[in-house]
Structure 1
Amino acid sequence: MTTEKVAFVGLGVMGYPMAGHLSGTSLGVTVYNRTDSRAQQWLQTFSGEKAATPAETAADADIVCLCVGNDDDVRSVVYGETGILAGLKKGAILIDHTTASPQLAKELDLAVTEAGSEFLDAPVSGGQAGAENGSLTIMVGGNQAPFNIAKDVMNVYAKSVQLMGPAGSGQ
């Protein structure tokens, strides 16, 4: 699979600069944030598009990156009629950069796989400075094939990206 379009859901302290690094590549970037003014601010700084819902954000993306606060926040943007899963195209890869529970990672892996796509749990380490400098460390849980595809995208905002094992292992 050739990665041409990337979506980023969650433009907080970490996600904002991570998505910003992606906008500096040849990839088409679409963003979504629950607080719309934050997405508007991102568009004034970086190039890309803004979507109205997580589903719309994911609709054309080859890879969807997610970085929100906790398990409940992840569920709120993944599930439901406007959630990422509702728009995720078959064969796409969902990367969850949220520091969440291993149980949630396994739950999402099952839901995303049943939808015909791939899932990677990939929490980040390095703090805000690492996100801004593109020097994060990412520990990934998931299957080798989607990891091989997604690694190049994650390397845009990370200095080290390592596959740790099956879904839940990144957490």
Structure 2
Amino acid sequence: MGISRPFPNSVNEQLTGNMITRLYRPPEILFGSKHYNQSVDMWSFGCTIAELFLSQNKKHFFHANSEIEQLCVIFQIRGAANESNWTDCTKLSLYMDFQDLQAQDLQELIPNAPKECIQIIDQLLQLDPKKRSDINKVIYYIFQKKQFYIFFLRFQRINGQMKMKKKGQIN
């Protein structure tokens, strides 16, 4: 989804905006941010988890054909970015106002996903990169909260769709 490289030691060092496959690119990069961190990878991870549960006829969670359309699709699902849900988003060089777009219910959009997965997807797909879960929080949730089974054992691909395994069916 991106390129493996170390993050700069200085917060003033600018990074490229042409990073990460567009369909997995977070809104801060689409808005022109040149200063970002590992939270961009967590956004991509959230997209990937969501896609595990999509129907056979939908391949990508945020499917679009251009960067502007990509932002539209993101905000149609997650709600429009504004100062109340993403501090300083209006200061990004390519910021555009997508007013009147309300967040949709992820469980309704991804009905095949268990609610525990929806919670993780919601935490990973936060518009504000500072509010996104980091990998430590995700691992804690999966392992310490005994959710490993739900994430890795409880679903299987049936006819191209992710389906929940029946209780007691692990193979």
Which TM-score band (shorter chain)? under 0.3
| Greater relative contact order (CA < 8 Å, ≥ 6 in sequence) | 2
Larger radius of gyration: 2
The alignment's TM-score, normalised by the length of structure 1, stands at 0.27
The alignment's TM-score, normalised by the length of structure 2, stands at 0.27
